[in-house]
Structure 1
Amino acid sequence: MTPASPAPTFRTATPDDVPGLVALIESAYRGDASRAGWTTEADLLGGQRTDADMVLAVVNDTSGRMLVAETGGVLAACCQLENRDGHAYFGTFAVRPDMQGGGLGKQVLAEAERLARDEWDAAEMRMTVITARAELIAWYVRRGYVRTGELSPFPYGDERFGLPKRDDLRFEILTKKLR
């Protein structure tokens, strides 16, 4: 386990952050660099996790924001938040692999929940997680998220989301009441 991270500072991403965000997200999920942390999807998916156009679309989306966490002036983590008619959607969650295991992810998730509840008056947070990611689902469950059993297919054939290494990938919706 990594030592506790210093307290992060949070801000909303800007277009200038896009290259750093793409590198952060890719490092947390794909390739050998991702294996330094526990959030890797490298055994499930190859190819890209995101690209500059996809991240810029989130940064510019007026119905949400890309939340950035910095520690010591270094881009350390991020997540996507969308305000969706009474609930918030949480996604594109990434923590630098060399900073995983020290509590930073918990802090980012707590800040995302606070923003959704206090700024958007969202009653619930929702997310989708690949069902094969049992450790990750368990991490969210320990933080109060509930497995809904609602499943959706993985976008096979759309290389923007990666190259599947298995034919049984699908997503499950997890939810948490915020108020």
Structure 2
Amino acid sequence: MMRILGIDPGLRNMGWGVIEQDGPRLRHIANGICHSEGADLAVRLMSLYDQMSEVVRAYAPDVAAVEQTFVNKDGAGTLKLGQARAIALLVPAQAGLQVGEYAPNSVKKTVVGVGHADKRQVLHMVCLQLPGCKPAGPDAADALAIAICHAHHAGHGGAARLRRKIA
């Protein structure tokens, strides 16, 4: 059995979802959204760091998966998203977890079957693949989709924990 944490990076809302994979079976454990708090960027990033650290402590995942960022026309927005993505990578790595990274189109193709699916389609397929799951919002649904993608691509070979860093 492998517990997977999926993370959808965002500066305002960072979605997260935890699933368990037991062979071909997937089971929903928890999901939510970390909301950044504070006026300046440093405070907002610290808020996301603290909240994601608590998720890792509470749910003890074996591995993590994070969505990759696409560069868009707004350079400042892309840079801020990259900083939030750094938190999404840092927290699991600091806990000694192996972190997989997946392009948004790869996640959608794995979960929906179409690389350019919309958020509604992703939500629908996440709920079908994780019966009883009620995502906390679109960001949490995306995070669960990222975890599902990791389950399909990494298999049990990716479950090895890295050496835990002593806090």
TM-score normalized with structure 2 length: 0.31
- Say which structure, 1 or 2, has more relative contact order (CA 8 Å, 6+ apart): 2
TM-score normalized with structure 1 length: 0.30
